[in-house]
Structure formats: structure tokens, C-alpha cells
């Protein structure tokens, strides 16, 4: 698993724990699912040793999907909880950059 996905999964798990401690079980579940998604994506897009920096065509499509979903989630979270909306916007920008890098490769 890549270090970036591992850090993201850990952050989502920390958020899930904080929400569970506050009694917001729905948000705890949402963040736990996000942590699982990061774990899945991290294991799915592991690079082969001989293909450092090589991008697969499906990666670009996946990054585009993650960008769109992060933008939609950010818009919803901006209304519900503005701080998390900004976090989702930053994630969307990262996904956009990663998608552009995957297309160029």
C-alpha cells in the first residue's frame, strides 16, 4: 500500500473515532467507509517494481471519478459542516492533479 493511501486511511479512522466518541454514529460510519475505500484503492493501485511511474488507463478514469465524487461531497459538506467541506475540496484538488498526471504518463 502506498504511504499516501495509508495516511489517508489513518486520518479517516481518526475522524471516525472522534465522531463515534461524540455519539455521531452516522458520521463515524461514513468515515469508516472512507477509510476502507482508501485501503482498497491503495492495494489496487500498487505499482509493480519495474513500472515505476507508469500509469494504467483505468487509473485516470478512477481519479476522474474520485474528483467528481469529492466535489459533490464537498458541496454537501459545505452546507452541513464547512470545515469538512474544505477538506473534501482539498481532496478533490489532489485527485484532479493525480488524474492529470495519470493521463500524461
pLDDT tens per residue, range 4-18 = 677 777 778 888 888
- The pTM (predicted TM-score) of the whole model is 0.48
Q: How many helices (H) and strands (E) does the chain have?
A: 4, 0
Residue 92's CB: how many other CB atoms inside 10 A?
A: 20
Average pLDDT over residues 62-89: 79
Cell of 76: 454537501
pLDDT digits (tens, 9 = 90+) for 19-34: 888 888 998 888 888 8
For the chain, the maximum distance between any two Cα atoms, rounded to a whole number of angstroms, is 47
Amino acid at each position: 500500500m502506498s504511504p499516501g493511501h495509508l495516511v489517508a486511511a489513518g486520518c479517516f479512522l481518526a475522524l471516525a473515532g472522534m465522531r463515534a466518541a461524540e455519539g455521531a454514529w452516522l458520521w463515524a460510519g461514513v468515515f469508516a467507509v472512507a477509510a476502507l475505500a482508501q485501503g482498497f484503492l491503495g492495494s489496487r493501485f500498487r505499482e509493480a517494481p519495474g513500472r515505476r511511474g507508469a500509469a494504467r488507463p483505468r487509473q485516470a478514469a478512477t481519479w476522474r471519478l474520485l474528483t467528481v465524487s469529492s466535489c459533490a461531497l464537498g458541496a454537501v459538506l459545505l452546507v452541513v459542516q464547512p470545515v469538512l467541506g474544505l477538506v473534501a475540496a482539498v481532496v478533490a484538488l489532489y485527485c484532479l492533479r493525480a488524474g492529470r498526471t495519470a493521463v500524461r504518463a
